[in-house]
Structure 1
Amino acid sequence: VLQYEMQLGGISQRLSQFGIIDEFMRIKRSRNDYIREDMAEFRGSTPRHLSKHFLTLERHASKHSLNAGYSFRLPRTYPGSIAWYNDMLDKAMVLLVKIGKPDIFLTYTGSQEWPEIMENLFPNTNWQSNPLLVCTVFYLKVQEVLDDVMNKEVFGKVAGFVYSIEFQKRGMPHLHLLIILKAGNKMDRVDRIDRHVWARIPEVDVIGPNPTMRERVVQEMQKRLRKDVKNFMLHAPCLGDNTAYCQQHAGQDSTRYGTCTKKFPKQLSEFTRIMPDGTVMYRRPEGVGIQSKDSSKDTVMVTNEWVVPYSP
């Protein structure tokens, strides 16, 4: 069935996506109708809340010509409802109260260049034509990430974790993962932070004319990491470019106009420092640069002050 659905999505492209969305909305409307009819039997309120509610309806109706109807409350078993979000938040907060605050905030983003996606696309199509393939590959990748964190303990022994998956408007899904480490594994030492988090452009070792197999493997890994950092982990230099996406929400405050909302460029530092308020100033040594594009798509030399922190 999965293979058939992927073929159907890859061949018909947007037409199949419209059909899937239409069927999904029919199912959702049917469920909403059931909840509305079921909730009508249990509806209740106080006079004060009813008065406030009808005043709000009247005010909106006068502004937008809306007819005052009736509302119903979606239960917490309905994904995406306010009650559902509140329930998820309550569970996450209980976890933090019992175990402790998170030590690592990890973001894992899908890539359209993954070979599992590129090798399974139909001719003359792209990843946007087959969202089922993208979601399937991303789900399997997320399971690998969770296995690395929980079972292989790449960051240390884990006491608990909580995560969310978002799509937003850019298309590719991404994972936000909060990790709580056990005592003795906390990111409260500079050597542990330097081992797991980098904020610099990786350098490639120069090897001799007769390198060993290990030296070749290490050099290839360094080249791959340097390429990935250049392609995915650089914040495009935006100084003086008020049209850059990171400066579009600076607001009307003239003191902040023209500043990067992502707080780039970062301060260069030869050592990692843990600040008194608990924040970390990552090691960003001087003298390391790589050619890349700025926010205006011009070729410039980018240094470590523009690197987004990543885990090698």
Structure 2
Amino acid sequence: MIESERLLYFRIHQKELRAEDYKSLKNAKSTGQTSSSSVGKRIVLPSSFIGGRRYMDGLYHDCVAICGHVGYPDLFITFTCNSEWPEIKRLLDPLHLKPVDRPDIVCRMFKMKLDMLIKDLKKERFFGKVVADVHTIEFQKRSLPHAHILIFLDSLSKFPNLKDIDKVICAEIPNKFEHPELYKAVKKFMLHGPCGSTNIFSPCMKEGRCSKFYPKSFTDLTTIDAEGYPIYRRRKTGCYAAKRKCGSI
């Protein structure tokens, strides 16, 4: 509904927006480019329309400019909304509603937590001094918002060695006796599958194998493959977790 109102505004205010003066449209007209899509009245969306092509192109150019100024990003962080967050349940449970019934509450809570996460990364310097950050928000098939965050670190805070990667990224199941809360979180949210021969109908299965290449092989050291992607350390520590009656180590 909100987007419909925005589109209506741009449709009835074309003269005020001077949309007919866009250089690209004049060039197209002068070269005689015509198609069946030109039948009817053409409405041009300016770059201020959120989600439009010009708006997205502007964001892309801004990101490229940041990369050109500070270099390549150092960290890629994903942040997904959790419908079981206590703040969401506290609001919806008394009303006997599900998260899908109130996407406005879900999105607002996600945005608040995302802003706090980025603030912590920049102010608290969990990974070091942050000189720039870029993030984009998309919606998964389950209708939950999901953010991809790029973090650009200062030259003195980068992770140039393979051993430095192990300081911030762990692909192993924690010990449930030494880190019980972390173990519960990883077991509930971070385990893939089950897939493969155990569950051939898993959504990740393509042509009889897991499209995400699980299960991963054990490796004692973090390495970089030929394409520059890291192969994270996965030691055979003996830590075990069960998901849907299937075991993972």
TM-score by length of 2: 0.86
Residue 45 (structure 1) aligns with:
27
Residue 262 (structure 1) aligns with:
212
User: For the residues of structure 2 that align with 1:301 and 1:28, how far apart are their CA atoms?
Assistant: 51
Alignment of 1:75-154 (within 5 A): 75-121=46-92, 122-154=94-126
- SS of equivalent residue, structure 1 residue 138: helix
CA shift for structure 1 position 70? 4.0
Aligned identity (percent) is: 29
CA shift for structure 1 position 35? 4.8
1:110·1:174 contact (CA, 8 Å) conserved in 2?
yes
4+ runs of 1 displaced by more than 6 Å? none
CA shift for structure 1 position 292? 0.9
User: For the residues of structure 2 that align with 1:225 and 1:268, how far apart are their CA atoms?
Assistant: 21
- SS of equivalent residue, structure 2 residue 26: coil
Question: Where in structure 1 are there 5+ consecutive unaligned residues?
Answer: 1-20, 61-66, 206-218, 251-256, 294-298, 304-312
1:39·1:73 contact (CA, 8 Å) conserved in 2?
no
Does 2:229 match 1:279?
yes
Residue 243 (structure 2) aligns with:
292
User: For the residues of structure 2 that align with 1:265 and 1:71, how far apart are their CA atoms?
Assistant: 52
Residue 244 (structure 1) aligns with:
202
Q: Per the alignment, do residues 284 and 71 of structure 1 end up closer, same or farther by CA in structure 2, a change over 3 Å counting? A: same
CA shift for structure 1 position 69? 2.7
CA shift for structure 1 position 135? 2.1
Question: Where in structure 2 are there 5+ consecutive unaligned residues?
Answer: none
Q: Per the alignment, do residues 32 and 168 of structure 1 end up closer, same or farther by CA in structure 2, a change over 3 Å counting? A: farther
User: For the residues of structure 2 that align with 1:25 and 1:46, how far apart are their CA atoms?
Assistant: 28
For the pair shown, the structure with the greater C-alpha radius of gyration is 1
User: For the residues of structure 2 that align with 1:259 and 1:32, how far apart are their CA atoms?
Assistant: 48
User: For the residues of structure 1 that align with 2:128 and 2:137, how far apart are their CA atoms?
Assistant: 23
- SS of equivalent residue, structure 1 residue 170: coil
Residue 178 (structure 1) aligns with:
150
CA shift for structure 1 position 269? 0.8
User: For the residues of structure 2 that align with 1:100 and 1:116, how far apart are their CA atoms?
Assistant: 38
Q: Per the alignment, do residues 40 and 174 of structure 1 end up closer, same or farther by CA in structure 2, a change over 3 Å counting? A: closer
Q: Per the alignment, do residues 177 and 28 of structure 1 end up closer, same or farther by CA in structure 2, a change over 3 Å counting? A: same
User: For the residues of structure 2 that align with 1:126 and 1:235, how far apart are their CA atoms?
Assistant: 25
The total of aligned residue pairs comes to 242
TM-score by length of 1: 0.70
User: For the residues of structure 2 that align with 1:181 and 1:41, how far apart are their CA atoms?
Assistant: 43
2:11·2:43 contact (CA, 8 Å) conserved in 1?
no
- SS of equivalent residue, structure 1 residue 162: strand
